[in-house]
Structure formats: structure tokens, C-alpha cells
Structure 1
């Protein structure tokens, strides 16, 4: 009987150990070391129905890469002239859930701010925003994907409880955050059925974005992060003249990003989609010195007709921290296979 009890205790210990290892595997994004890792960056996909098969190829390509920690999606999961229907939203969710790795998604303008357009179904944008939050952020602080990951969410702050989409996490002394900044002048573009509620939403969201950016850099400095990456959908016009029409809705946020990047001094990536032009450059100039801010780099994803992905390598011990690699999906260069 004693021998049997001992075996039970040993079995319990093994099970407890296995459970602990599983938990650690799920939460390994909180690791505080300095190891190298990689992740995928996509956006503006799937855009056109005729290219769904290409997006399937991108998903398969990413899923086949065992080194990737997660997938970042920079928003716009549809084009600007297609229906914003529940059915389309549910289709996108199903596609996103085929990623084997955690998927962090930040909303784009095409899935809510522009849904007032007749060819989008003449929806109320704020109603569509509610639907996006309901479907794509069902559990606050938990990512999408077949393997989920716990992240910090701004919804935990009672002052910004609606912003479940603003998330943050640390990996190997590198800080990551997604912040809800969208095209169409950050949802300030006029439309026929616009009301004061639409204007008030923009004010709240910009306030939340400013707080999230500030808090992200404060936490990065407090935890001695070696780099910071901010993910958002809009191209805010980094390189454009201040107060130009294309920067309406973005000026406060751009000013905060500049201040934080200059003060941080270490590598900063601003990752976005929106203009369908893959690039990596340094467009940000200091407002006082008018000098290029060398530690701030913009990375724009593939998107729309160019259905490929970016692989981002992170080495916290290197001077640059981030390096970006184009992953051209060869199958997507071919004609659509005939049925």
C-alpha cells in the first residue's frame, strides 16, 4: 500500500511538472532574457476576394515557419469598397484562427470608419467598431490564433475600458504594443451621417492612444527594454509637413511618438500598413532640430495586391535590435490555379 501511495505521489509530481511546463510555454512571452527570436508582420490582407487563395498561401507559409513567436496584423482585413457585413467579419475571424501562432490584430479604417459608404453597406461606423471589438477581442488580454498568448490590455484601466484592442507585451527585454490609430484622418474624415458621437469617439481614442504610447515607453524604460515596436494601421504622414491636411487627426500622436523616441534613445520601430507600399525608412525629423531621428524606423507591410509577408528578427544584444526580411511567397507570383 505504501509503495502504491509513493507511485501516486510520483505520478502527481510528474503531472504537476508537465502542467507547469505547459503554462510556461503559454506564457513564455514574458521571458526577461536576451535571446533572439522572430515574428511575422502582415497587414491590408485579405483585401480582394480574388486573392483569398494568396492569403491562404501566406498563412501556410507562416505556419510552416517553426521559429516564429507570433503574427502581427496591422489592420484592414478588407478593401474600402466591400461590404462590412457580419458574414465578412466572421469570415476574417475564421481565417485568422487558422494561424497556429498567436495573432495580434489592430483595427483598420476599412473595417469600421469607412463602413458608412454605400458600397460598404451604409453602416454606422461606431456600430461596426463595436462589432469588431466583440468578434476579434472576445477575451480581454488574450490574442487570436490557435495558440493564444496573454497580453496587457488598456481595457484593464477603468478610464479607458473600451479600448480592449490596445495591447502590450514584453519579450526578451524588447517591448511591443498595438495602438488603435486608423486611416481616414484617424476617423475624422467627414461623411453625411456623421454625428457628435463620432467626433467624441475620436477624442477618446486619441486620448487613449497618447496614454498607451506614453505608458509603453515608460514601462520600456523602467524595465530596461532594448527596443520598442509600436503597431498601428494608419500611415500618419511622418514625412509630411506639419499641419498638412493628410496629418489631420495624427498631429498629437506624431508629436508624442517623436518625444518618446528621442527620449528613449534606443531602437524604435513604427510598424503600419495603409498605403500598400512595403518599405523600411527613417521619415521622422525632430520638430526642434529638424534632424533625422536616427533611432526611429518606420516599417510598412506588404498589402492589398502584394500578398506576401515580412519576417522580423529580433536580437536584443545587437545595436539595431530589429532586422526586417521580405518573405516573397512564390506561389503568389503565379496565375491563379485553374479549378
Structure 2
């Protein structure tokens, strides 16, 4: 029997280091006070297929058993792009994510709302699905999902951006974390038959809110002399593409903001996303003016879709790198589904 949202909430080896540039010489108090190391789990683009639900169960079991992990971050796309966007599916995902014993932070993906106009998705109105997502997955503004919850900031507390409960932020051991609602399908600009002016207006509001949240996050990080910043969003923004490319439509303003803020911040910045289903840790950001690699910016893309594994992100606020990423391959998920 399906549980409703309130019942669900109630029951609720290879590693890549970031090698970011060290802090500038005038940051004389960088190591004056030590902060504790910690780790968290990163997933995304999961679960995609019903046949792989058992693989997600294995991931959840591993993460729950690891006492080192402080929370779980999900980079969006909680279903594939050709399945129903029904309330029943959303409640199924809510129930599965509620099995995590640790705080669970989700940023929305395009598959669960912007692309729901597709016939094989149920021909929903995307904005109606977005409202339902916010109702189910962000029921208490400023509190995470998961059996153990975490109090965090939310942009919904800003009257200018009150609808954006999914844009969240918190600090741990002097490192800043934030989730920003930026999705694939050109950030929701992809055309579809029933698109209206309301859909266009939503994109404008969401981009403005994302820009404000990014600016405020970096401003707070600089004011508090944070050791590093990690931003999570769903979309692959097309960092490698030329400015003005079709793949960067809907993202240009945000990319420009991320470039400027990262260069000015000077310390390690992690840009975490899903979308492409291709695990990687690299440095794709080139300065628009300098044409040089922005060394303190590191992109982390999650496992996803058929690759049902997870990433362990280790955070050492007292190191120059701050972040390092370790892939956690779930051996059982490399096998065929166990026979009954």
C-alpha cells in the first residue's frame, strides 16, 4: 500500500583530489584555527529504471552503514526522461529517499518537472509538477529530508524569492555548501507544444533567484573567511562549450557569475552536477577574459542512470585542496539482478 507524504516523512579506491590553488599569501589566519575533517555522500540521476531499484537499495544500505558520512546530497533527476511524472512515482521516490538515515539534500532535475509535458511522461503541465515537487520534497522550509534532519538556510525566507524553497545553504566546519535550482533542457527553456508565457516567466524568475543565491553564498563565504565553497545543481552547464553555443542557452548568465565569483574567491570551489551520466572530476572552466584555466574551480559529476554507485567527498578545511572525491563502486551492482 502506498504511503502518503506525511506517513513517509514520519517513518523516516580510486580517488580524485581537487588540487586547487592555495589560498593567497595575505590570508594569514588560514591555519590559525583548525577545523574538523568530515565526509558526505553524493549521488544523482537515480533511480532511473524500476529494474534497478534493488541497486539503489544497495547504495542506501552502504551509505547508512558508513558512520563517517554526515549527509547525502542528490544532484537531481529522480526518474528517467520517459517515465510518468505521476504523484504515485513522486511518493515512491520520497519513500525510497526517506530510507536514508542521514540528512538528505535534493536539488530538482529536469526529468521530474520541466520535461513532464512529454506524452510518455503523462503530458503534465510542468509548472503544476514543480508545485507538487515542492510540496512533497520540501515540506518544511529550512529542514532536510532523511530520518535524521539538518536545519539549513532556504531562499524561501527571502520575500523577493519566496517560492524557491529548494535553494538551500549551510556551513560545516567553515566550509560553505549550497544547492541551486538549475536544470537541464536549457534550464527549462526547451520548447514544447503547450508552453505558455507563464513557463517563460518561471525561467526568468528562477535564473534571477539562482544568480541572487550564488552571489549571496559567495558573499557570505568571503565575509566568514570560509575555506571553500561547494555548489550543487542538476544541469551540465556546458562549461567546455564556446560562449553562445546552443548547449549553453539558459546558462550563460549563471556561468558568467560562477566564473567571476570563483576568481574573486580564490579558494577551492566545487561545482557539482549530474545530467550527463558520466562520472568525472575535472577543471573545465576557462576565464572569458584571461582565456586561462580557472584552477580553483573543480567540476564533479556524479554517477547516474545505469551506473548506480556513489561518491564519497572528503572535506579537510585545513588543507589547501579542501575537497577530495573518492568513487565508491558497489560491487553487488556490477552483477545481474539476483534471481529469486
Whether TM-score is above 0.5 comes out as yes
Offset from partner CA, 1:60-107 (integer Å, 9 cap, x none)? 010010000000000000000000000000000000100000000000
Offset from partner CA, 1:141-169 (integer Å, 9 cap, x none)? 00000000000000000000000000000
RMSD across aligned positions (CA): 0.7
Alignment of 1:246-325 (within 5 A): 246-325=247-326
Offset from partner CA, 1:8-33 (integer Å, 9 cap, x none)? xxxxxxxxxxxxxxxxxxxxxxxx96
Higher helix proportion: 1
Offset from partner CA, 1:283-313 (integer Å, 9 cap, x none)? 0000000000000000000000000000000
Partner of 2:110: 109
The separation in 2 between residues aligned to 1:96 and 1:308, in whole angstroms, is 15
Alignment of 1:39-188 (within 5 A): 39-188=40-189
Partner of 1:212: 213
Structure 2: stretches of 5+ with no match in the other structure? 1-32
Q: CA 1:265–1:259 in 2, change beyond 3 Å: closer, same or farther? A: same
| Paired residues, number | 308
> What secondary structure, in the 3-state scheme, does the structure 2 residue paired with 1:206 have?
helix
Partner of 2:223: 222
**Superposed displacement of residue 218, structure 1:** 0.2
Q: Contact 2:34 / 2:318 at 8 angstroms: preserved in 1?
A: no
> What secondary structure, in the 3-state scheme, does the structure 1 residue paired with 2:131 have?
helix
Q: Contact 2:117 / 2:125 at 8 angstroms: preserved in 1?
A: yes
What is the TM-score normalised by the length of structure 1?
Answer: 0.90
Partner of 1:27: none
The separation in 2 between residues aligned to 1:49 and 1:190, in whole angstroms, is 28
The separation in 2 between residues aligned to 1:295 and 1:326, in whole angstroms, is 21
The separation in 2 between residues aligned to 1:42 and 1:188, in whole angstroms, is 25
The separation in 1 between residues aligned to 2:199 and 2:273, in whole angstroms, is 23
The separation in 2 between residues aligned to 1:189 and 1:61, in whole angstroms, is 37
Q: Contact 1:33 / 1:173 at 8 angstroms: preserved in 2?
A: no
> What secondary structure, in the 3-state scheme, does the structure 1 residue paired with 2:64 have?
helix
Matched, 1:337 2:338: yes
Structure 1: stretches of 5+ with no match in the other structure? 1-31
The separation in 2 between residues aligned to 1:155 and 1:180, in whole angstroms, is 13
Structure with more contact order per residue of length (Cα contacts < 8 Å, sep ≥ 6): 2
The separation in 2 between residues aligned to 1:215 and 1:265, in whole angstroms, is 16
Partner of 2:12: none
Q: Contact 1:163 / 1:208 at 8 angstroms: preserved in 2?
A: yes
The separation in 2 between residues aligned to 1:61 and 1:304, in whole angstroms, is 18
The separation in 1 between residues aligned to 2:112 and 2:336, in whole angstroms, is 28
Partner of 1:8: none
> What secondary structure, in the 3-state scheme, does the structure 2 residue paired with 1:331 have?
helix
> What secondary structure, in the 3-state scheme, does the structure 2 residue paired with 1:39 have?
strand
